[in-house]
């Protein structure tokens, strides 16, 4: 478990490093916002302990940039500003938790442990709707106990539809995210429709309840209820 501590107050930074290392975390300390941001962009971390009042780049700015990049590393903010607005602002900016200075060390450790556990949550490996199940690890698709043989593309399309189960998936989305083609063209639309038709033949035709539905003029939706 690697923890990044971004804190400009030397005493606090030192205490954090020692306390976290005693708990067997690997700790890196940055004493400016700039350094913290640099480390975040160059090394992997499981948890970030982030002071808000920092020289050169404040904590909120770092946090906002991190989240804009789509990175979900758990962040615990430290704030001396004990006002409701500051806390709300921190959480709105994408912090997972906060502590108000001065804080009790055991409490900080408990919060870091909780965030580290959350960050390590198992990624989703199984998707499904109704009696249809798709296993991302074994690449197996089973419906009502029957294993279905899908081509790679059919599998990818089904995975995508299941990740968006209950929501309409347009041909544009399939073109962009499954075929990874940004410029849409009629031939690609035809390929998408043919793939969907083949997929439907395998996952729906032998069964009474249909899961893959066409939304006319828009795209497709996977759901267990008819309609
Ligand atoms: Ca500070």
Tell me the CA–centroid distance for residue 42 and ligand 1, in Å: 23
Tell me the CA–centroid distance for residue 2 and ligand 1, in Å: 21
Q: For residues 162 and 31, give the distance between their C-alpha atoms in angstroms, rounded to a whole number.
A: 45
Tell me the CA–centroid distance for residue 55 and ligand 1, in Å: 8
DSSP letter for each residue of 153-166? HHHHHHHHHHHTTT
Tell me the CA–centroid distance for residue 85 and ligand 1, in Å: 18
Tell me the CA–centroid distance for residue 135 and ligand 1, in Å: 47
Q: Answer whether residue 123 shows pLDDT above 80.
A: no
Quick one: which of 8, 108, 103 has its CA closest to 59? 8
Q: Answer whether residue 61 shows pLDDT above 80.
A: yes
74 and 1 Cβ atoms separated by less than 8 Å = no
Q: Answer whether residue 163 shows pLDDT above 70.
A: yes
pLDDT tens by residue, 9-52: 999 999 999 999 999 999 999 999 999 999 998 888 999 999 98
Q: Answer whether residue 120 shows pLDDT above 60.
A: no
Q: For residues 66 and 78, give the distance between their C-alpha atoms in angstroms, rounded to a whole number.
A: 17
Measured CA angle at 161 (ends 156, 166), to 5 deg: 165
Q: What is the pTM of this model?
A: 0.54
Tell me the CA–centroid distance for residue 82 and ligand 1, in Å: 14
pLDDT tens by residue, 175-226: 988 998 877 677 888 999 999 999 999 999 999 999 999 999 889 999 987 5
Q: Answer whether residue 166 shows pLDDT above 70.
A: yes
Q: What is the mean pLDDT of residues 159-164?
A: 92
CA distances from 24 to 90, 110, 113, 118 (A): 28, 14, 11, 18
Q: What is the mean pLDDT of residues 159-180?
A: 90
pLDDT tens by residue, 63-108: 998 888 878 899 999 987 666 677 777 788 889 988 888 888 889 9
Tell me the CA–centroid distance for residue 44 and ligand 1, in Å: 23
Q: What is the mean pLDDT of residues 165-172?
A: 90
Tell me the CA–centroid distance for residue 161 and ligand 1, in Å: 46
Tell me the CA–centroid distance for residue 53 and ligand 1, in Å: 4
Q: What is the mean pLDDT of residues 160-181?
A: 90
């Amino acid at each position: 478990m690697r923890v990044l501590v971004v804190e400009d107050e030397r005493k606090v930074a030192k205490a954090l490093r020692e306390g976290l290392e005693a708990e067997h975390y690997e700790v890196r300390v940055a004493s400016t916002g700039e350094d913290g941001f640099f480390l975040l962009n160059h090394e992997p971390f499981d948890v970030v302990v982030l002071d808000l009042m920092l020289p050169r780049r404040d904590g909120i700015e770092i946090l906002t940039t991190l989240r804009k990049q789509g990175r979900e590393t758990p962040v615990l903010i430290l704030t001396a500003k004990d006002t409701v607005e500051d806390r709300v602002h921190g959480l709105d900016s994408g912090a997972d938790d906060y502590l108000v200075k001065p804080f009790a060390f055991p409490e900080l450790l408990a919060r870091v442990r909780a965030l580290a556990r959350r960050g390590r949550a198992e990624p989703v490996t199984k998707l499904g709707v109704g009696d249809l199940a798709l296993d991302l690890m074994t690449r197996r698709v089973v419906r009502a106990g029957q294993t279905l043989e899908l081509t790679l593309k059919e599998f990818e399309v089904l995975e995508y539809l299941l990740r968006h189960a209950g929501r309409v998936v347009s041909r544009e989305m399939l073109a962009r995210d499954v075929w990874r083609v940004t410029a849409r063209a009629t031939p690609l639309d035809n390929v998408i429709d043919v793939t969907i038709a083949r997929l439907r033949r395998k996952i729906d035709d032998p069964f009474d309840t249909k899961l893959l539905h066409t939304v006319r003029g828009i795209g497709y939706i996977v759901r267990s209820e008819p309609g």
